Amino acid sequence: MTFTKVGSEADFLFDRMTGLELGGKDILVAKAKGRFYALGNRCTHEGCRLSNGRIWDGKIRCPCHGSLFDPVTGKVLQGPAEKPLPLYHLKVENGQVWVDT
């Protein structure tokens, strides 16, 4: 695995999401339920950027059509999306957030 530092823990607000371009991939870093997650940043329904949406009740909500995704598994919790989001390995060490690219 090749991890890239994406910021410090303090850079990511609780229940907020940040979109990043890493290794040619559009990645979403979300802080939800007190933990960090890295997933694909494009909704699997129409390709909207999830980082333009919000975390609603601990779930990632697409800003375009309202699909809900589980930040832990990437699974669709409410459509219209049908396919899960890809997951990326993420680690937090010494207050720094790293994503596998």
Query: Tokens representing 13?
Result: 């607000």
Domain layout of the chain by residue ranges: 3-100
Q: What is the largest CA-CA distance in the chain?
A: 39
Among 40, 30, 45, 28, which Cα is nearest to 79's? Answer: 45
Helices (H) and strands (E) in the chain, counts: 0, 11
Q: State which fold the 3-100 domain adopts.
A: Rieske Iron-sulfur Protein (2.102.10)
Q: What is the pLDDT along the chain (101 residues), one digit of tens a residue?
A: 789 999 999 888 777 789 999 989 999 999 887 899 999 999 999 999 999 998 988 899 999 999 999 999 999 999 999 999 999 999 999 999 999 97
The three-state secondary structure class of 11 is helix
The three-state secondary structure class of 52 is helix
- Confidence (pLDDT) at 92: 96
